[in-house]
Chain A
Amino acid sequence: MYSRYIEAVVGVFIIVGFIALGFLAIQVSGLSMDSQKETYRIYAQFDDLGGLSVRGQVSVAGVTVGKVSAISLDKKAYRALVEMEIYKSVDNLSIDTVASIQTAGLLGEKFVGLSVGGDPDVLADGDTIFDTQSALNLEKLIGAFASSRSSL
């Protein structure tokens, strides 16, 4: 009888442990959200990433439509090449879409904002966005402001 009780308690312990692990996987790391959605890849070249990192958001009008999956240097052009995974459900980004690196709040995370143009052709898997805006560099901006003030 006693040993049955122990078995049941151990069973509960193991179940609770796995529930905790499942909680960490689903609620904390948002695992199912990412893996469920099928994606396609588009690329964009930037002059300056300004702190954008892998796993950063890609958004259209503030709604997340994908994430940054890889960042590398284009050796010929010396520009940053950003690979983005966009959800398959968002398949109507026009070919003249502008990608810009934006900041959430004043000091927040960097993310890629896409503003969709009006061209009837759409971006497909493997396409590259050529029309890009680099990150707003706060230090350069302040530097430019300070030098323009002193010249006045």
Chain B
Amino acid sequence: MLDFFVKKGQATIDFVSSLGRSGIFLIRAIFGLSFSLKSLSGLIKQIYYVGVLSLVIIVISGLFIGMVLGLQGYSILIDYGSEQAIGQMVALTLVRELGPVVAALLFAGRAGSALTAEIGLMKATEQLSSMEMMGVDPIKRVIAPRLWAGFISLPLLAAIFSAVGIFGGLLVGVDWLGVYEGSFWANMQQSVDFQEDVLNGMIKAIVFGLVCTWIAVYQGYDSIPTSEGISIATTKTVVYSSLSVLGLDFILTAVMFSSI
């Protein structure tokens, strides 16, 4: 009986201290980016791996999600004879919710897991500790550029996702189902507000970018340096990122849009 409580207490202390460790890790990594030419070229390389290589999946998913929104929206709105509102529906859904959230979920699967595996393997092959031995701080050299790359990439990816999705909705709504293009854009422009909708969506994407990359690099850095440990860490990255994106999305939506 006592043993049970000891185990539970130990697990709680482990959890809290791991949370604290990840917090300290985040602060060190954020302020660890030095603005020398060399480290900036490292950052650019990471943006390439994290952002540019995620473009294909983001663009294709965005297009299809926009098309599905157009199709579903049309079949519902036509019942009320207000199929012109399809532009408004597609744009608001994408800009406020689906753009940041789906981009972040795809990003966690596509880039986050790769980051965890890469850093975990670096740890397993003792590259990180040999860096430390050479007097190079691995957090500055390895973690900081990756964290910043994710932080910069995800808002851009979310904006691209929304824009492509709106074109998907345009393709289905206007070109295939025959909604008048003028009212498609006019309805959209009248109802979407730049500050209220677009900027709040971007703030969401920035928060998600930070959280997803933070979880990814921390799980990699804190993984058990065996092949099994890396596989556990990669799974944890995707699960934790997805859950925290969805949970945070609810909180941010409640804060941003509850007054409307």
Using a CB–CB distance below 8 Å, which chain A residues touch chain B? 3, 6-7, 9-10, 13-14, 16-21, 23-25, 27-31, 33, 55, 57, 105-109
Contact = CB atoms under 8 A, between A and B. Distances in A.
Contacts of B192: 28-30
Contact of B163 (A23, A31, A107, A108): A23
B93 to A, nearest CB: 12
- Nearest 6 Cβ contacts at the A-B interface: A17-B156, A30-B189, A20-B163, A20-B159, A29-B192, A29-B194
Contact of A20 (B81, B82, B91, B162): B162
Contacts of B48: 6, 9-10, 13
Interface string B163-175: 1101000000000
A24 B194 CA distance: 8
Nearest to A5: B48
Contacts of A6: 44-45, 48
Contact of B156 (A13, A28, A57, A107): A13
Given A16-B160, A20-B159, A23-B163, A29 B189 contact: yes
A25 B162 contact: no
9 contacts: A6-B48, A7-B41, A10-B51, A14-B156, A21-B202, A28-B188, A29-B197, A30-B188, A55-B190
Contacts of B190: 30, 55, 57, 109
Interface of B: 41, 44-45, 47-48, 51-52, 55, 80-82, 91, 95, 152-153, 155-157, 159-160, 162-164, 166, 185, 188-194, 197-198, 202
Nearest to B166: A28
B52 A28 contact: no
Given A19-B163, A30-B192, 20 more contacts: A3-B41, A7-B44, A9-B52, A10-B47, A14-B156, A17-B155, A17-B159, A18-B159, A20-B164, A21-B159, A24-B95, A27-B189, A28-B163, A28-B166, A28-B189, A30-B188, A30-B189, A107-B80, A107-B81, A109-B190
A77 B24 CA distance: 58
A55 B193 contact: yes
Contacts of A24: 95, 159, 162-163, 198
A20 to B, nearest CB: 4
Nearest to B45: A6
B11 to A, nearest CB: 42
Nearest to A17: B156
Residue among A19, A28, A107 with max Cβ neighbours from chain B (10 Å): A28
A86 to B, nearest CB: 17
A13 B58 CA distance: 12
Residue among A10, A19, A108 with max Cβ neighbours from chain B (10 Å): A10
Contacts of A31: 194
B202 A13 contact: no
Given A7-B41, A20-B162, A24-B163, A13 B52 contact: yes
A28 B157 contact: no
A13 B41 CA distance: 15
A28 B160 contact: no
